[in-house]
Amino acid sequence: MADGRALICRRAGLRLWLSLGWLALLVVVAVLAPWVAPKNPLEQDLFSGRLPPFWVHGADPAFLLGTDSLGRDVLSRIIFGTRIALAVALISGTLTCVIGASLGLLAGFYRGWVDIVISRFIDIWMAFPPVLFSILLIAVIGPGLFSIILAIVVIDWTRFARVVRAEAMAQGAMDYVASARVAGRGRFSTMLREILPNVLPIIVVLLTLEMGIAVIVEAILSFVNLSISTDDPTWGGMISEGRTSIHQAWWVLVFPLITLFLTVLSFSQLGEGLKDRFDPVLR
């Protein structure tokens, strides 16, 4: 039995490191994009349209992963697309986290009317299906990167608020909180100095999962052409182009799809892995 547990731990650790490794690679590539990318992602070359990747007969080795119908380098577009994907993940993830976690913390620790107001708000918010919410929002504020970030924050803050509220409530009932108060610490200060550090692990887990959601939402909205302009390299935009030319040039779809798949998988595996790591029962 002890052996089995060690095996599970080792496997979970591997999962954690693999996802972390992939995400670290993405960050490096995003930061260094202009130096890493072999070509200009916007440069069109109609004479070398739909070139296959390097190992297929008829390829031009200058375009490692081939070109799309306008002759743009697939690899360079994936590399520059990393910037948009990670920017959306970081900005919308952080904003959602700050807003949702703050409200959840206030509701869970202060209880009383603060909790009643915030909890009702969460309930009403969650009764509205997210798909309809995003359709309405984007229809009203128009497509674009800003709309995507706004839509994610407006829809997903409840995810943080609900969990953090429950966690803060559980922590608030514990003895160490009471003793901090007896020792003369103010309420707000207790919340920040005693409760927050203890709910931080769950917030980190939620933030990781939220970033994965943000990446997929951005990809979906670029896929249906409701994100930034189609010239700019986004994974979703590339997938959309690849979907239409799937029988002529499979590589335009396959490579951005693999990148997106691994990224979404990494965020969720990292989140799940951290959850297990932080869970005192499993540890």
Partner 1 sequence: MTLVRTLLLRLMTTAVTLFGVAVIVFFVIRVVPGNPVAMMLPPGATAEDVARLTALYGLDKSIPQQFVIWGAGVLHGDFGTSITLRQPVLALVLGRLPATLELSVLALVMAVLMGGAAALTGTRLRETRVEGGIDVANGMALSVPDFLWGLVLILVFGVLLPVFQISGRVTPSLHLPFVTNFYLVESLVRLRFDLTRDLLAHMFLPAFALAIPLAAIIGQLLKQSLKETMHLDYVTLARTQGYSEARVIWREALPNAILPTLTLVGVQFTFLIGGTVIIERLFSYEGLGNMAIDAVINRDLPLIQGIVILFAVIFTGVNLVVDLTYAALNPRLRHG
Residue 203 CB, shortest distance to partner 1, in Å, is 20
Note whether 246 binds partner 1 by CB under 8 A: yes
Note whether 228 binds partner 1 by CB under 8 A: no
Note whether 153 binds partner 1 by CB under 8 A: no
Note whether 254 binds partner 1 by CB under 8 A: yes
Shorter beta-carbon distance to partner 1: residue 155 or 202: 155
Encoded tokens for 275: 């959850």
Residue 62 CB, shortest distance to partner 1, in Å, is 26
Note whether 269 binds partner 1 by CB under 8 A: yes
Shorter beta-carbon distance to partner 1: residue 190 or 234: 234
The gap from C-alpha 19 to its chain's centroid, in whole angstroms, comes to 13
Q: Max Cα separation, the chain?
A: 77
Residue 140 CB, shortest distance to partner 1, in Å, is 5
User: Alpha carbon of 100 to those of 78, 94, 152, 175, 226: distances in Å?
Assistant: 32, 10, 12, 26, 26
Note whether 243 binds partner 1 by CB under 8 A: yes
Shorter beta-carbon distance to partner 1: residue 142 or 197: 142
25-33, 58-66, 182-190, 247-255 -> range binding partner 1 (CB under 8 A): 247-255
Site size with partner 1, rule: CB under 8 A: 36
Shorter beta-carbon distance to partner 1: residue 74 or 239: 239
42-50, 61-69, 184-192, 265-273 -> range binding partner 1 (CB under 8 A): 265-273
The binding track of 108-127 with respect to partner 1, each residue x by CB under 8 A or -, is ----------------x--x
Residue 36 CB partners (closer than 8 Å, separation 6+)? 29, 79
Note whether 265 binds partner 1 by CB under 8 A: yes
Note whether 216 binds partner 1 by CB under 8 A: yes
Note whether 94 binds partner 1 by CB under 8 A: no
Residue 34 CB, shortest distance to partner 1, in Å, is 29
Which residue from 47, 61, 182, 247 is in contact with partner 1, where contact means CB under 8 A? Answer: 247
DSSP string of the chain, one letter each residue: -HHHHHHHHHHHHHHHHHHHHHHHHHHHHHHTHHHH-SS-TT---GGGTTPPPTTSTT--TTSTT-B-TT--BHHHHHHHHHHHHHHHHHHHHHHHHHHHHHHHHHHHHH-HHHHHHHHHHHHHHHHS-HHHHHHHHHHHH-SSHHHHHHHHHHHHHHHHHHHHHHHHHHHHTSHHHHHHHHTT--HHHHIIIIIHHHHHHHHHHHHHHHHHHHHHHHHHHHHTT-SS-TTS--HHHHHHHHHHTTTT-THHHHHHHHHHHHHHHHHHHHHHHHHHHH-TTT-
Shorter beta-carbon distance to partner 1: residue 169 or 220: 220
- Please give the Cα distance from 182 to 185 (Å, whole number): 7
Q: Which residues bind partner 1 (CB under 8 A)?
A: 124, 127-132, 135-136, 138-140, 142-143, 216, 219-220, 223-226, 239, 243, 246-247, 250, 253-254, 257, 260-261, 264-265, 268-269, 272
